[in-house]
Amino acid sequence: MLDTMTFTKIVGSFCGALLVFLLGKWAAETLYHVGGAHGEEVAVYVIDTGEGEETAEVEEEVDFETLLASADVGAGERQFGKCRACHKLEAGENAAGPYLYNIVGRDVGAADGFNYSGALSEVADVWTPENLNGFIENPRGWAPGTTMGFAGLSNAEDRANLIAYLDTIGD
């Protein structure tokens, strides 16, 4: 059974374990303590992010018309490789996306035989270079509800090159 001596041994062992734990914690804090007052946070490892320095160049925005005027059709043809999986360049040849023959200047949603989602006709009437630029940059942002799964082209030069290439396809 449980007599006084056994009870004293059990309580003493718990107190001893607690004392060892507290002394270990104190020793670890003393050993690994890094400057500053108690409770004050101090950066142990500082990463230079360059914040505060004004050496970064500010990228100058060039309007889209200027980019389109100086676009490279050959580079646009290479950019079309990203579109080729879902779009065809031949008139009437729909795939997962509508055909892109004569797309620049064509009415939005006018590809015969393609079932559009309806989101595009709410945003624009004609595929002008500016409308194509906005759509290719961020399809879901430009026409919310579109079923086009492409994330978009973030580089303005790439978009201008692609639109210049698409402008050469057609009449």
80 domain residue, yes or no: yes
63 is a domain residue: no
What is the model's pTM? 0.62
Q: How far is CA 30 from CA 19, 26, 35, 130, in A?
A: 16, 6, 11, 65
Backbone dihedral angles phi then psi of residue 127, each to the nearest 5 degrees: -80, 80
H or E element in which residue 131 lies = helix 129-137
What residue numbers bound the domain in which 153 lies?
A: 73-168
Looking at the DSSP assignment, which residues form a beta bridge with residue 126? Answer: 107
Q: Is residue 100 included in any domain, yes or no?
A: yes
Among candidates 147, 146, 150, which has minimal Cα distance to 82? 150
Residue 67's CB: how many other CB atoms inside 10 A? 19
Contact 50, 141 (CB under 8 A): no
As for how many domains the chain has, the answer is 1
pLDDT tens, the chain, 171 aa long: 679 999 999 999 999 999 999 999 999 888 886 665 555 666 666 777 777 665 555 556 678 788 888 888 999 899 998 888 888 888 888 888 888 898 988 888 888 888 887 778 788 889 899 989 998 999 888 888 888 888 888 888 999 999 999 999 887
CATH number at residue 125: 1.10.760.10
Within a domain: residue 153? yes
On whether the CB atoms of residues 168 and 99 are closer than 8 A, the answer is: no
Q: Is position 106 within any domain?
A: yes
User: Which element (helix H / strand E) includes 140?
Assistant: helix 139-142
Q: What are phi and psi of 126, to 5 degrees?
A: -130, 145
